[in-house]
């Protein structure tokens, strides 16, 4: 996360930009994105036939030539504005209007490190697939990559990569194992039938991934070495932040549970377990689980909440002090926020993941109700119903909330006292 | 007491009770087994089961000509409904049976007039012949027929054939009577442990498909 | 049973798979599936079926192949699961090969027979269990196995690489701007009303359909998006090979794309089997009793666009049309009345084929059969004489079917049986007859 201490936390409202006015200057203005500190709002704009640029607070990037195409406009956590653009028939990354030198036939799947200082993309260059991190490509590419990932510290990138060529419908060659994982472009020495979703160890020396050993045996491999235990299915592994062990949901005898370095660590069995998270203090392990068919909730260290949602649970979040857990739950067409096993009284047409205050006492979330967006704090709705809103940000002392909104076509930055919202 | 009387007393007494116990106990066991299996391995089924759609589906198939397939196969439909009606009604409403029950327990109820019962019996026997001929003649039915299907047809037909012959009282009355009671008991005991078990399971399979079609697929299943 | 057909079809997936299969593996798999994975349904169906043959005439294969008793639904069950149970699981690799061919290429798992069975015995389910056994034995027809591999690597059906997908959308967007200058295919637009998902063949061979959909949605003023990440493909051949784990993985990608984008619903293109996978089957494997994000089939969505006046018709389509009801959205979702509303809104002269609605015959391409590829094409096409007759009897010039597999299967039938008709999607016609904005 970016350091928000230097932001303007004075209570009050700022008009960031009147997006309506931009529309006069361009053929069209695409959906706006707002910077983490709320000071800037940006959108891709069409300037002429097949000509695009990026407009920030009403002012277009000063670029030599307009882009032929532009997409994936995003602010990095440290507030830089990035887009994937095509210029001179080549694709690259534009950061605050500056283009990377590395040109590719295509770039996609832009990722940021946690602090936002590192940017990585997947790229295709003359049929070779690789990742580019901060304008530096892997030394060699592959004929195919998927499941691109970057470590949270931005030091390492990895992807599932095709290591052995196979022709059309060469199913038995495929089943011998043609895929591997490539960490920073270097393939594991071992191939698998499939390699999926991976994670780096905190020190960056290990890479763990889901692997399929044949048509039906699944396990986790770390640096190419599979666990001894085989499972009916597995989901994405994570590393324990302190212990460095690998933790992944596994399916055994038709039920899901949690394994650490291959050993089952939860006594309880579930109809589903996924998206596990380690608490910031490293002491708790939570996951989204289904207690039974169509009965979704959160389990912390294998113990499920009593409350369940029939449709789904998403956005599992630990509080900074590790004492609390929140999520979004869906029942019918209503979305709810649940914290520590209790649902907020209000339900919504859509809800974004809960955001805890730095002191872990308050919880805020972006929500949609009756076609309008707003912020809910501890279940209570802010009185402003907006055309657009972004996820709330707490001030470092937790006493204020930064609300970034678009109201009647105008982008506002509003710092609101928490007392006003609860 | 003659040998016949001893035999008669045995098969209409203790053996009958055994048959009833096996039938009821076996049926409870089979249904329990099915429900336990659902609970063990396919619990999700409960999520989709619906009284409304189960009943809707069962009604469309329990009423003659209420489903498309019944209408397409009118002769088969008539035969199968008469056969099954006969199979279920005759044991309970045949005057001779009710008299026996009255003698044993002192209760009685409405009975099918003897003439009608004869007609039903003949039709059920004709239906059995029809089913037999289907199995022998129709290529598709013959292909899926197993020896057990002939055995089951025999088990189902036997009480009617023997009962009919006994009822005519022309010859070997006692012989046919004994065989009649015995075959009825065999059938009772066979229900839970052979494919006659469809008598128990049909309501569940029908209700499940009806629930899936009604609640999930939003389509008719008849 | 499972005796070889007169003209044995060579298929590398089946033949090499059989060569590599050991008895030990068969025993393990059959035990795993019969004791571990199946339960009350299989038992009830196998115990309840009285071998009456009332299902025979429901099956297009049976009818089309001269009422071959081996091809009736119960006949197919007898040749596969019936034998496995009779032999108490002691079957050999030859048997598995034949069972795989029966289950994968002689049955569309269309469930028409289940609908006509007095007891509701679901033969399609039983044959899907057979496919599962064959998958775990590694004996699956080559082309559909390759497709399942594609799903496992790319989460789409056609080995479409991630850049190719996005590039294709942008290319279609650019092309469509010639016609509608401010048209957009919004990528990854968080909070849109719906995510539009399609099947792998659309970007691979049928990019024009993406164009048409984008055009229709833009004219209708929809708030929509398409994901740039895997999960954009809703199709699922893994569901039909019995590779439930890959099926589940793909559905997880699909719904998680929608969850990430915070859309309220997913609208999908004109595909039948994909709807079955996302709406009814794949979600269940993941313990989602309902689709976690509501799934709206194209028929349903076109119905919404037309009935709310978001799309207006300039002039109805003149040629005579008939409707082929795709099993997976009609018998699978009851969209037959909405389909008729849509077609009647678009077309002047609609001739029904019979039987129709829930009682339709499958196109014979469904259930993964067409995906078993060229080795089985003749067998498939000859197995649908009954459909060809149905179509010919209408005398219509155009056959509309809102399903990709139906579309391809019906094109083969039109060609083989020399039917004088053309096969179209609804969107082909809607795009042609709708009111288009002046540019």
Q: Please write the tens of the pLDDT for every residue from B146-188.
A: 999 999 999 999 999 999 988 877 678 888 999 999 999 999 9
Least confident stretch, A101-105, B202-206, C228-232, C435-439: C435-439
Nearest-CA distance B182 → chain C (Å): 24
Nearest to C312 by CA among C216, C391, C191: C216
**How far from each other are the two terminal CA atoms of chain A, in whole angstroms?**
25
Statement to judge: residues C295 and C180 lie in one domain: yes
Contact A95, A63 (CB under 8 A): no
What six digits make up the tokens of A153? 């510290």
Which phi and psi (to 5°) does residue A322 adopt?
A: 70, 0
Kindly determine whether residue B37 and residue C56, on different chains, have CB atoms separated by under 8 Å. no
C5 domain residue, yes or no: no
Q: A358-384 burial, b for 16+ CB within 10 Å, e for fewer?
A: bebebbbbbbbbeeebbbbbbbeebeb
C49 in B contact zone (CB under 8 Å): yes
CB C139 within 8 A of CB C13: yes
Query: Is the Cβ pair A31, C189 closer than 8 Å?
Result: yes
Residue owning tokens 């189960």: B54
Count Cα atoms within 13 angstroms, Cβ side, for C291: 24
pLDDT tens figures, A320-361: 999 999 999 999 999 999 999 999 999 999 999 999 999 999
Q: If we measure between CA atoms, which residue out of A290, A283, A289, A347 comes closest to residue A321?
A: A283
pLDDT tens profile A310-321: 999 999 999 999
State mean pLDDT over C6-13.
Answer: 87
Residues 6+ apart with CB under 8 A from A111: A119, A120, A121, A148, A149, A150
Number of structural domains chain C divides into? 3
Structure confidence at residue C135 (pLDDT): 98
CA distance C103 to chain A (A): 19
Q: Walk me through the domains of chain B, giving residue ranges and CATH numbers.
A: 3-216 (1.20.950)
Q: How far apart are CA B60 and CA C32, in angstroms?
A: 37
Does one domain contain both C135 and C204? no
The parent domain of residue C224 ranges over 147-303
Mean pLDDT of all residues in chain A? 96
Q: Residue B27: what are its φ and ψ, rounded to 5°?
A: -65, -45
The pLDDT value given to residue B1? 64
For residue A400, pLDDT over 80 is answered with yes
CB within 8 Å: C138 and A330: no
The answer as to whether C99 is a domain residue is yes
Is residue C253 located within the same domain as residue C389? no
Nearest to A131 by CA among A101, A171, A160: A160
Distance CA C256, CA A197 (A): 14
Percent of chain A residues past pLDDT 70, beyond the cut: 100
For residue C3, tell me if it sits in a domain. no
A402 phi and psi angles, rounded to 5 deg: -90, 120
Residue with tokens 């500190």: A37
Nearest CA-CA partner of C421 in C346, C342, C328, C353: C353
- Looking at C81, C115, C140, which one is the last position of a domain? C140
3-state secondary structure of A68: coil
Reported ipTM: 0.97
Closest CA to B132 of B142, B122, B123, B140: B142
CA nearest to B199 within chain C:
C48
Task: Say if residue C202 is in the same domain as residue C164.
Answer: yes
Subunits with 3+ C-beta pairs closer than 8 A to A: B, C
**B 126-185 near C (Cβ less than 8 A):** 134, 138-146, 149, 152
Q: Assess whether C289 and C353 both reside in one domain.
A: no
C292 plus C341 within the same structural domain: no
Q: What is the pLDDT of residue B12?
A: 86
Q: How much is the pLDDT for C6? A: 56
The interface residues of chain C toward chain A in range 348-387, judged by CB-CB distance below 8 A, are: 373
Q: Where are the alpha helices (DSSP H) in chain B?
A: 3-12, 14-41, 44-48, 51-62, 68-72, 74-93, 95-105, 114-137, 139-144, 147-168, 173-190, 198-211
CB burial of C118-155 (b: ≥16 within 10 Å; e: otherwise) equals bbbbbbbbbbbbbbbbbbbbbbbbbbbbbbbbbbbbbb
Report which DSSP code applies to B21: H
Query: Do the Cβ atoms of A196 and C249 come within 8 Å?
Result: yes
Q: What is the pLDDT, as a whole number, of residue B96?
A: 87
Beta strand pairing call for A128-133 and A119-125: antiparallel
| Cβ–Cβ < 8 Å for C129, C42 | yes
C155 CA: distance to closest CA in chain A (Å): 10
For range A96-114, the mean pLDDT: 97
User: Which chain B residues are closer than 8 Å to A293 by Cβ?
Assistant: 43-44, 47
The CATH number for C36's domain is 1.10.1060
Residue A148, class by beta-carbon neighbours within 10 Å (0-12 exposed, 13-18 middle, 19+ buried)? buried
**Which tokens belong to B215?**
């609640």
For residues C174 and C297, state if they share a domain.
yes
Q: Mean pLDDT, chain C, as a whole number?
A: 96
Predicted local distance difference test score (pLDDT) of residue C45:
97
Do both C151 and C276 map to the same domain?
yes
- Cβ of C51 within 8 Å of Cβ of B145? The answer is yes
Asked if B222 lies within 8 A of C115 by C-beta distance, the reply is yes
Residue of A254, A269, A293 to mutate when probing chain B, most B C-beta within 10 A: A293
Residues of B (200-219) whose Cβ lies below 8 Å from C: 201-202, 204-206, 208-210, 213, 216-219
- Structure tokens that stand for B168 in this block: 């005519």
* C3 pLDDT higher than 80: no
Q: What is the pTM of this model?
A: 0.96
Per the structure block, which two tokens stand in for B84? 């099954």
The DSSP secondary-structure symbol of B217 reads S
Statement: residue A2 has pLDDT above 70: no
pLDDT, position C2:
42
Contacts of A254 in chain B (CB under 8 A): 41
Contact B43 A294 (CB under 8 A): no
pLDDT at position C319 is 97
Q: Is the pLDDT of residue C143 over 90?
A: yes
Q: Give contacts of C230 with chain A, Cβ < 8 Å.
A: 146
Task: Categorize the per-residue pLDDT at C4 as very low, low, confident or very high, splitting at 50, 70 and 90.
Answer: very low
B41·A293 Cβ contact <8 A: no
| Nearest residue in chain C measured CA to CA from B47 | C289
Residues C174-201: tens digit of each pLDDT? 999 999 999 999 999 999 999 999 999 9
The per-residue pLDDT for range C382-391, each reduced to its tens digit, is: 999 999 999 9
Chain A residue with minimum CA distance to C17:
A172
Phi and psi at residue B110, in whole multiples of 5°?
-60, 140
Task: Give yes or no for A204 touching C (CB within 8 A).
Answer: no
Asked if C287 and A271 come within 8 Å (Cβ–Cβ), the reply is yes
Residue C411 falls within a domain, yes or no?
yes
Residues in B touching C47 (Cβ below 8 Å): 195, 197-198, 201
Does C1 map to a domain? no
Question: Minimal CA–CA distance to A394: which of A342, A356, A347, A351?
Answer: A356
Beta bridge partner(s), residue A124:
A106, A129
| d(C-alpha A118, C-alpha A29), whole Å | 28
Q: How far is C364 from chain B (nearest CA, A)?
A: 20
DSSP secondary structure letters along B81-144: HHHHHHHHHHHHHBHHHHHHHHHHHS-----B-HHHHHHHHHHHHHHHHHHHHHHHH-HHHHHH
A397-412 average pLDDT score: 97
Domain boundary, last residue among C303, C326, C358: C303
| CA angle at C209 for the pair C204 and C213, rounded to the nearest 5° | 135
Q: Is residue C425 part of a domain?
A: yes
Using the beta-carbon criterion (under 8 Å), do B43 and A292 form an inter-chain contact? Answer: yes
Q: What are phi and psi of C251, to 5 degrees?
A: -70, -35
Inspect the interface and report whether the beta carbons of B195 and C48 lie closer than 8 Å.
Answer: yes
Question: How many CB atoms lie under 10 A from the CB of residue C313?
Answer: 15
- Is the residue at C4 inside a domain? no
**Range B132-151 burial, b when 16+ CB lie within 10 A, else e:** bebbeebebbebbbeeebee
CA distance C121 to B209: 8
Split at pLDDT 50, 70, 90, the class of C1 is very low
| Distance between A288 CA and the closest CA of chain B, angstroms | 19
Both structure tokens of A63: 């670029």
The verdict on a CB contact (< 8 Å) between A293 and B43 is yes
Q: Tell me the HSE value of A20 on the side-chain side, using a 13 A CA sphere.
A: 8
Chain C residues with CB under 8 Å of B138 CB are 53
Instruction: Find chain B residues with C-beta within 8 A of C62's C-beta.
Output: 140
Same domain, C235 and C352: no
Distance separating alpha carbons of residues A388 and A372, to the nearest angstrom: 7
pLDDT of residue A357: 97
What are the tens digits of pLDDT across the range B87-111?
Answer: 999 999 998 899 988 888 889 999 9
Does the pLDDT of residue A161 top 80, yes or no? yes
The pLDDT score that the predictor gives to residue C360 is 95
**Residue A157: closest CA among A199, A94, A103:** A199
d(CA A166, CA A162): 9
Computed on alpha carbons and rounded to an integer, the radius of gyration of chain B in Å comes to 20
Considering only residues A88 and C339, tell me which one the structure prediction assigns the higher pLDDT: C339
pLDDT, one tens digit per residue, over B127-150 is: 999 999 999 999 999 999 999 999
A contacts of B43 (beta carbons < 8 Å): 292-293
Contact C57 B72 (CB under 8 A): yes
Nearest CA in chain C to A233: C245
User: Which pLDDT score is estimated for C303?
Assistant: 98
Q: Which of C274, C303, C332 is the last residue of a domain?
A: C303
CB-count exposure of residue C88 (10 Å: 0-12, 13-18, 19+): exposed
Convert chain C into a string of H (helix), E (strand) and C (coil). Answer: CCCCCCCCCCCHHHHHHHHHCCHHHHHHHHHHHHHHHCCHHHHHHHHHCCCCCCCHHHCHHHHHCCCCHHHCHHHHHHHHHHHHHHCCCCCCHHHHHHHHHHHHHCCCCCCHHHHHCCCCCCHHHHHHHHHHHHHHHCCCCHHHHHHHHHHHHHCCCCCCCHHHHHHHHHHHHHHHCCCCCCCCCCECCCCCCEEEEECCHHHHCCHHHHHHHHHHHHHCCCCEEECCCCCCECCCCHHHHCCHHHHHHHHHHHHHHHHHHCCCEEEECCCCHHHHHHHHHHHHHCCCCCCCCCEEEHHHHHHHHHHCCCCCECCCEEEEEEECCCHHHHCCCCCHHHHHHHHHHHEEEEECCCCCHHHCCCCCCCCCCHHHCHHHHHHHHHCCHHHHHHHHHHCCCEEECCCHHHHHHHHHHHHHCCCCCEEECHHHHHHHHECCCCC
Say how far apart CA A195 and CA A401 lie, in whole Å: 42
Residue indicated by tokens 């994405």: A236
For A:314-373, CB contacts with C below 8 A are: 314, 330, 333, 349-350, 352, 368, 373
pLDDT tens digits, residue range C33-54? Answer: 999 999 999 999 999 999 999 9
Mean pLDDT for the stretch of residues A249-266: 97
Q: How far apart are CA A58 and CA A30, in angstroms?
A: 13
Q: By CA distance, what is B44's nearest residue in A?
A: A293
- The structural domains of chain A, ordered by start, are 12-310 (2.130.10), 344-422 (no CATH)
Per residue in B5-41, pLDDT (tens digit) is 888 889 988 999 999 999 999 999 999 999 999 999 9
Mutate to test the interface with A, among B44, B49, B216 (most CBs of A within 10 A): B44
* pLDDT for position C402: 97
- Answer yes or no: do C319 and C429 share one domain: yes
Chain B residue with minimal CA distance to A255? B41
Q: What's the token pair of residue C109?
A: 């798992």
């Amino acid at each position: 996360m970016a350091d928000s201490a230097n932001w303007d936390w004075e209570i009050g409202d700022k008009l960031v930009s009147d997006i309506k006015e931009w529309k006069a200057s361009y053929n069209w203005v695409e959906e706006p994105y707002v910077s983490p500190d709320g000071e800037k709002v940006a959108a891709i704009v069409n300037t002429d036939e097949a000509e695009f640029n990026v407009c920030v607070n009403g002012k277009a990037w000063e670029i030599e030539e307009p882009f032929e195409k532009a997409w994936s406009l995003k602010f990095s956590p440290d507030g830089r504005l990035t887009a994937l653009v095509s210029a001179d028939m080549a694709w690259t990354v534009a950061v605050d209007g500056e283009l990377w030198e590395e040109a590719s036939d295509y770039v996609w799947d832009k990722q940021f490190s946690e602090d936002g200082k590192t940017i990585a993309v997947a790229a295709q260059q003359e049929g070779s697939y690789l990742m580019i991190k901060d304008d530096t490509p892997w030394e060699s590419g592959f004929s195919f990559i998927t499941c691109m990932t970057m470590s949270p510290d931005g030091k390492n990138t990895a992807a599932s990569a095709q290591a052995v060529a196979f022709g059309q419908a060469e199913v038995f060659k495929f089943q011998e194992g043609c895929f591997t994982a490539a960490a920073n472009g270097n393939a594991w020495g071992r191939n698998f039938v499939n390699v999926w979703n991976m994670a780096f160890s905190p020190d960056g020396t290990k890479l763990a991934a889901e692997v399929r050993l044949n048509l039906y045996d699944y396990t986790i491999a770390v640096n190419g070495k599979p666990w001894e235990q085989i499972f009916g299915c597995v989901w994405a592994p994570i590393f324990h932040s302190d212990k460095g062990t690998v933790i992944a949901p596994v399916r055994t005898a038709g039920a899901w549970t949690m394994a650490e370095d291959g050993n089952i660590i939860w006594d309880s069995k579930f109809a589903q377990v996924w998206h596990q998270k380690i608490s910031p203090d490293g002491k708790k392990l939570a996951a989204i689980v289904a207690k039974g068919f169509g009965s979704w909730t959160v389990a912390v260290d294998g113990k499920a909440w009593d409350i369940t949602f029939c449709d789904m649970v998403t956005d599992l979040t630990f509080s900074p002090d590790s004492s609390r857990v929140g999520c979004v739950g869906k029942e019918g067409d209503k979305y709810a926020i649940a914290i520590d096993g209790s649902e907020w009284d209000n339900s919504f047409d859509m809800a974004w993941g809960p955001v805890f205050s730095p002191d872990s006492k308050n919880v805020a979330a972006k929500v949609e109700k009756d076609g309008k967006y707003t912020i809910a704090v501890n279940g209570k709705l802010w009185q402003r119903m907006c055309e657009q809103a972004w996820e709330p940000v707490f001030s470092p002392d937790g006493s204020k909330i930064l609300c970034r909104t678009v109201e009647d076509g105008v982008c506002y930055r509003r710092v609101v006292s928490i007392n006003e919202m609860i | 007491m003659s040998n016949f009387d001893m035999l008669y007393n045995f098969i209409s007494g203790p053996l009958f009770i055994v048959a009833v116990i096996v039938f009821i106990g076996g049926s409870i066991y089979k249904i329990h087994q099915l429900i336990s299996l659902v609970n063990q391995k396919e619990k999700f089924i409960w999520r989709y089961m619906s009284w409304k759609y189960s009943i809707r589906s069962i009604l469309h198939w329990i009423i003659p000509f209420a489903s498309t397939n019944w209408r397409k196969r009118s002769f088969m439909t008539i035969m199968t409904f008469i056969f099954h009606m006969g199979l279920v009604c005759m044991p309970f409403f045949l005057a001779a049976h009710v008299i026996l029950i009255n003698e044993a327990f002192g209760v009685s109820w409405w009975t099918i007039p003897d003439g009608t019962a004869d007609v039903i019996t003949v039709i059920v026997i004709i239906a059995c012949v029809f089913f037999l001929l289907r199995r022998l003649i129709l290529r598709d039915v013959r292909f899926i027929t197993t020896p057990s299907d002939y055995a089951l047809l025999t088990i189902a037909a036997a009480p009617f054939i023997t009962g009919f012959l006994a009822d005519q009282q022309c010859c070997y009355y006692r012989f046919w009577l004994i065989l009649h009671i015995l075959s009825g008991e065999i059938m009772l005991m066979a229900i839970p442990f052979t494919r006659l078990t469809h008598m128990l399971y049909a309501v569940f399979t029908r209700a499940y498909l009806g629930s899936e079609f009604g609640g999930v697929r939003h389509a008719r299943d008849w | 049973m499972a005796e070889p057909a007169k003209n044995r079809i060579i298929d590398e997936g089946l033949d090499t798979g059989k060569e590599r299969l050991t008895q030990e593996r068969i025993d393990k798999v059959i035990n795993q599936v019969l004791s571990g994975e199946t339960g009350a349904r299989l038992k009830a169906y196998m115990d309840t079926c009285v071998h009456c043959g009332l299902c025979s005439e429901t099956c297009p294969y049976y009818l089309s192949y001269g009422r071959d008793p081996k091809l009736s639904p119960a006949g197919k069950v007898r040749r596969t699961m019936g034998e496995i149970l009779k032999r108490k699981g002691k079957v050999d690799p030859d048997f598995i090969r034949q069972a795989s061919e029966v289950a994968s290429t002689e049955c569309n798992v269309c469930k028409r027979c289940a609908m006509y069975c007095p007891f509701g015995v679901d033969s399609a389910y039983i044959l899907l269990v057979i496919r599962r056994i064959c998958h775990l034995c590694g004996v699956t027809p080559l082309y559909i196995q390759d497709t399942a591999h594609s799903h496992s690597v790319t989460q789409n059906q056609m080995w479409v690489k991630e850049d190719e997908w996005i590039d294709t959308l942008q290319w279609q967007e650019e092309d469509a701007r010639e016609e509608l200058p401010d048209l957009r295919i919004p990528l990854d637009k968080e909070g849109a009303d719906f995510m539009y998902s399609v099947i792998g063949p659309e970007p691979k061979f049928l990019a024009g359909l993406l164009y048409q959909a984008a055009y229709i949605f833009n004219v209708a003023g929809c708030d929509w998006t398409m994901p740039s990440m895997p999960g954009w493909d809703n199709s699922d051949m893994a569901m039909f090979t019995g590779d439930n784990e890959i099926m589940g993985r793909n559905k997880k990608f699909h719904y998680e794309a929608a969850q990430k984008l915070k859309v309220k619903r997913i609208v999908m293109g004109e595909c039948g089997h994909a709807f079955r996978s996302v709406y009814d089957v794949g979600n269940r494997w993941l313990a989602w009793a309902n689709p976690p994000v509501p799934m709206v089939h194209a028929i349903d969505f076109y119905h919404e666009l037309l009935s709310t006046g978001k799309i207006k018709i300039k002039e109805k389509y003149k040629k005579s049309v008939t409707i082929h009801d795709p099993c997976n959205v009609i018998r699978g979702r009851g969209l037959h009345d909405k389909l008729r509303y849509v077609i009647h809104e678009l077309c002047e002269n609609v001739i029904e084929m019979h039987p129709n609605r829930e009682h339709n015959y499958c196109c014979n391409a469904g259930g993964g059969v067409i995906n078993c590829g060229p080795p089985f094409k003749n067998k498939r096409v000859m197995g649908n004489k009954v459909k060809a007759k149905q179509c010919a009897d209408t005398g219509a010039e155009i056959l509309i079917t809102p399903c990709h597999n139906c579309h391809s299967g019906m094109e083969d039938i039109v060609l083989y049986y020399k039917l004088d008709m053309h096969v179209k999607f609804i969107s082909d016609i809607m795009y042609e007859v709708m009111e288009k904005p002046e540019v």
